[in-house]
Amino acid sequence: MTVSYYCKSCKKINKIKTKAKNRFELQQEIGNEINYRCTSCGTLENRHINRLSADPNYTIFFISLFVSVILTVLLWNVGFIAMVTLMLPFWAYFDSLKKANLFNKTRVRNN
């Protein structure tokens, strides 16, 4: 899951590195508001954490796709195992999508 915000001045998306799985953990880690510089224009952005959005992580999908192709080639003669290994990247993608949707649905209270 990638947490990002939209810069008003240059209209680009900036990503924030965090290990938080929801907004409450992010609030404990960062606070109610973030102060980050835009990576493209350098403008200082002051945003409330409810204005941040999360997107699924595509690198996990591509890594699991690579692993599943290798496992499918190795286990092709087994049959059912090959089908299970082909489902691995889709499971990883939908799990990441579910986590991002849960992050976007929850909001913290404005103080």
Distance between CA atoms of 32 and 51, rounded to whole angstroms? 11
Tens of pLDDT, residue by residue, the chain (111 residues):
889 998 888 989 999 888 888 999 999 998 899 888 888 888 898 889 999 999 998 888 889 889 888 888 887 777 667 777 778 888 888 999 999 999 999 999 876
pLDDT at 9: 87
- Which ranges of 1-111 would DSSP assign to H, the alpha helix? 23-29, 58-74, 80-105
Return the domain boundaries, the chain: 2-53, 58-105
Residue-wise over 19-39: b if at least 16 C-beta within 10 A, else e?
Answer: ebeebeebbeebeeebebebe
92-105, pLDDT tens digit by residue? 889 999 999 999 99
Q: Crossing angle of helices 58-74/80-105, nearest 10°? A: 170
